[in-house]
A and B are shown apart, each in its own frame.
Chain A
Amino acid sequence: MADALIAVALLLVAVSATVAVVTRDPVRQALVLAVLGIVLAVLFTVLQAPDVGLSQLAVGSALTPLLLLLTVRKVRRRAQDRDGGR
């Protein structure tokens, strides 16, 4: 019956990873990626790999969104500056 838990977690990971690939806007992609990280951490825990799950949580929940959103902000500001300069 523990297999049911693995199946649910695997299914959620597959769906969220597919959504992350299909989403085009980087900001929305970062949001999906944050959820994907959380679901992955649950999957790792269910598969009895808490060390990997902890790495995923540490990196995926705050650090990756921060890096992605800072990059988006820089790129957008640059585009605005270019448009304003013309």
Chain B
Amino acid sequence: MRRYATLAALALGPVLVLAVFFVVPVVGMVGRGFVVDGGLDVGGVLEVLGRERTHRVLWFTVWSAAVATVVSVLLGLPAAYALHRLAFPGRRVVRALLLVPFVLPTVVVGVAFRLLLGEAGPLGGLGLDGTPVAIVAGLVFFNVAVVIRAVGAAWESLDARPGEAAAALGASPAQVFRTVTLPALRPAIVSAASVVFLFCATSYGVVLTLGGLRYSSVETEIYLLTTQLLDLRAAAALSVLQLLAVTALLVVAGRLRAVPDPTLARQLARPRRPRGADGVQVGLTLLVLALVAAPLVTLLVGSLRADDAWSLDNYRALDRVGQGSALLVPASDALVTSLRTAVDATWMSLLLGGLIAVVVSRRSATRGERRLRSTLDGFFMLPLGVSAVTLGFGFLLTLGRPPLALLDSPLVPIAQALVALPLVVRTLVPVLTGLDDRQRQAAASLGAGPLRTFATVDLPAVRRPLIAAAGFAFAVSLGEFGATSFLARSEHPTLPVVIFRLIGSPEPEAFGTALAASVVLAAATAAVVLAVDRLGGRSFGAL
């Protein structure tokens, strides 16, 4: 019983938060679709699920997200290796840059991609604009960093000795990878892949912008049904479908993640210099870099052009407010607001995510307990898999009145923390699960209390992943994410809000200014992530 009490106590806070800010709004919104004239109408919902259009939309969602996930993993693995196990100058900068896509508003990324791939763009000859290839490329652009960061964090603390032993016994590098490294990394890879899949399956702007409106996913369909047509029944049907699919995915991922002995001998391998044998990995890493950098370079170049000449005018315009300017506040003010919101969202998601990770990763004594822990694990992944518009409208519906009159409180950081939460959990859990429980028992038998055990055994192990997670959470919150666009904004606009306004303005200079503001947002993110990474690196080295 004591075990359950501890588990419940640790999980109580996060569960409450998720219940209020996720379960209640989603249930409220989906419920509206099921209840017609005061009675439950399941038949109507089933009818929607039988439509030919529903099947087509579902099929497109599944295959585009699956392909994007596979590509992200295939490109992300070698990059994770190169960026986390090899030592070369500038690797921290590259790691920080790879997180930049996370913070850019989709509308900006859409514009950047289309400037590149559109008929008049440098890659226009490829004819990719408006094709599924462009959609997948966009999804990979956003998500490859998830694989690199999450798997990289696990790879970094992977003991190199078993691999070296296998090599000494005559195994080829490929054999070592297949029989030693890959199995050890499997939990992290499956974790990252499931998060990426959920992000891809629920992405909205990428599908519409890069697909030229020719493709519909479940998410774009729910959006259309809810915001334009107010066909709540059909929207609810699709939301339920989404929830079921996500649950199924999480169950499968849970199975795949489970390994007979998750214990990893944790031994931080020193990054070494690249050798000739690393050529393939380094080459693929460069490819990833090119994919991520190309749209960013497009933005940078665009921001430096004004009146058909190179100039810094767009950057000078960032602080000009008033006549003839689409800016409502100087961009610097908006940046400060963004950073403050992101800091709030980051510590919230780290705190909640940390608690969940601890609960989920503890070894269970009974089967029931194990089931309980893995259910909790899946529960916190759900926000990633549910339509932002369902959640956003649900907020309005359920949080606007007592007993939960919370609409006037600043919900934006909380909503962002909820999105970042699964990333935090998925980054921490593989490492915590990999800890040998005997270390904790040893500490305890030497007289350490539970807190001290945690501080001396768990904490050092998760410090690096924690920093990786903090970078994620921060980047996620700096960007504007789905559900937050349905929440009332504070009077102080964030930088993404400013960019959104600039890009929609007919003022002739506004477009260039929007690109400049995006570059500032990207640079600020990279700088903060880099600083956090450095901080982490140094203190770890001192251990």
Q: Tell whether A pairs with B.
A: no
